[in-house]
Amino acid sequence: MAGHSVGPALGRMIKDVTSTWIEPSSTGAALLLLGRGSDPSAEKGVECPGELPSPSDPTLVERAQRAKAALGDRLFVLGHHYQRDEVIQFADVTGDSFKLAREAAARPEAEFIVFCGVHFMAESADILTSDTQKVVLPDLGAGCSMADMAALPQVETAWELLEDLGIAESTIPVTYMNSSADIKGFVGRNKGVVCTSSNAKRALTWAFERGEKVLFLPDQHLGRNTAVLEMGFDLDDCVLYNPHKPNGGLTPEQLRDAKMILWRGHCSVHGRFTLECVEEVRERVPGVNVLVHPECRHEVVTAADYVGSTEYIIKAIDAAPAGSAWAVGTELNLVRRLANAHPDKQIMFLDRNVCYCSTMNRIDLPHLVWALEELAAGRLVNQITVDADTARNARVALDQMLALP
């Protein structure tokens, strides 16, 4: 999807097939939203032990610097692009989820990998690093709502349905990097592949060389946008599987005829951008360039000028001429950081309403300071581990992605 340039006309023709509503789970939602209680199958909602420093403590920066210096080369801190500035300043490397996991694997001398991101990212780092390395997530409540939208029992039920219909053998599962280790393991067991927003087209091309259809997990929008805008499929070739409805809310004929079986999942940040957001900013800022992430809805992507991954968005802004105007449809921390880095350009958030990734923002300076000080004191906290069987199968799917042409 990176670098894809499209016009606004198609967006007005899209039907309501791209609705992003998801039925809530029956978990104790109120407690989980507060980060209390425990749900081992969820990407969020696990309390952290220990006493956190006060967020108003003026010595937090100094404490983080001191703890990091004490750990020296034993520590490697990863910072996702969506992290707040107070945290990203301590990252040894910044990047998207897959880049950071690979960077962790390339530092075998680091005993502790502190991942300033969300749970599935730390899982991927644990899968790709050695057994002697320990991956730490400063706040165990930092999860991913998109990853939670595809739970392993739900996906296994869907796969059993495809088996009953006699189409599982011709279906290749493809999962977005933004999924749990369980889902990556399922994909590895079933001869599929992991993809990122940068290589989704290559992953789908690989899949269609080996099967007649794809089960795409868990982000419906990345799957639809890649299939339709990058690979020439029609919207009618895509069906939306809703795990909260019998048979996914689809008929056997729909499943047999589909090329892309899209899981009903989405990013809570990118899913909020609408066609009205694009139309409003074009009216308000003449000549503005609209640049969005492919996790956005299909009608938003087709109305944008440029579409690409997080890394593509950063490079596009870096290369833009002085004086140009850009409305960016991705997480607000990154947009603000880009605006501050390029004062000679007019860079704004696509939606006039503020929208941070709430779970990503759980990694704050108090949690980071607490984790670093505990490690410096010889106490391992908040370690993220993936069981051996799941890790082995997930590694198969990740290695297949690395081998993509």
Quote the pLDDT of residue 16: 34
Per-residue tokens: 242: 């809703």
Quote the pLDDT of residue 32: 47
296 labelled binding-site residue = no
176 labelled binding-site residue = yes
298 labelled binding-site residue = no
Q: What domains lie within the chain, and their CATH numbers?
A: 57-143+360-387 (3.40.50.10800), 147-266 (3.40.50.10800), 270-355 (3.40.50.10800)
Q: Round to whole Å and give the CA distance between 113 and 348.
A: 33
The single residue listed with the structure tokens 């509503």 is: 21
Quote the pLDDT of residue 17: 34
241 labelled binding-site residue = no
294 labelled binding-site residue = yes
The closest of 47, 65, 63 to 55, measured between CA atoms, is 63
pLDDT along the chain (405 residues), means of 10: 40 33 41 54 64 90 98 96 94 90 89 95 93 95 93 97 98 97 97 95 97 98 97 97 98 98 95 95 97 97 96 96 97 93 96 82 94 97 96 96 88
Quote the pLDDT of residue 237: 98
177 labelled binding-site residue = yes
pTM for this prediction: 0.86
267 labelled binding-site residue = yes
Quote the pLDDT of residue 34: 52
Convert the chain into a string of H (helix), E (strand) and C (coil): CCCECCCCHHHHHCCHHHCCCCCCCCCCHHHHHCCCCCCCCCCCCCCCCCCCCCCCCCCHHHHHHHHHHHHHHHEEEEEECCCCHHHHCCCCEEECHHHHHHHHHCCCCCCEEEEECCHHHHHHHHHHCCCCCEEECCCCCCCCHHHHCCCHHHHHHHHHHHHHCCCHHHEEEEEECCCCHHHHHHHHHCCCEEECCCCHHHHHHHHHCCCCEEEEECCHHHHHHHHHHHCCCCHHHEEEECCCCHHHHCCHHHHHHCCEEEECCCCCCHHHCCHHHHHHHHHHCCCCEEEECCCCCHHHHHHCCEECCHHHHHHHHHHCCCCCEEEEECCHHHHHHHHHHCCCCEEEECCCCCCCCCCHHHCCHHHHHHHHHHHHCCCCCCECCCCHHHHHHHHHHHHHHHCCC
356 labelled binding-site residue = no
367 labelled binding-site residue = no
116 labelled binding-site residue = no
41 labelled binding-site residue = no
Quote the pLDDT of residue 101: 82
Q: Round to whole Å and give the CA distance between 198 and 398.
A: 14
97 labelled binding-site residue = yes
Quote the pLDDT of residue 256: 98
266 labelled binding-site residue = no
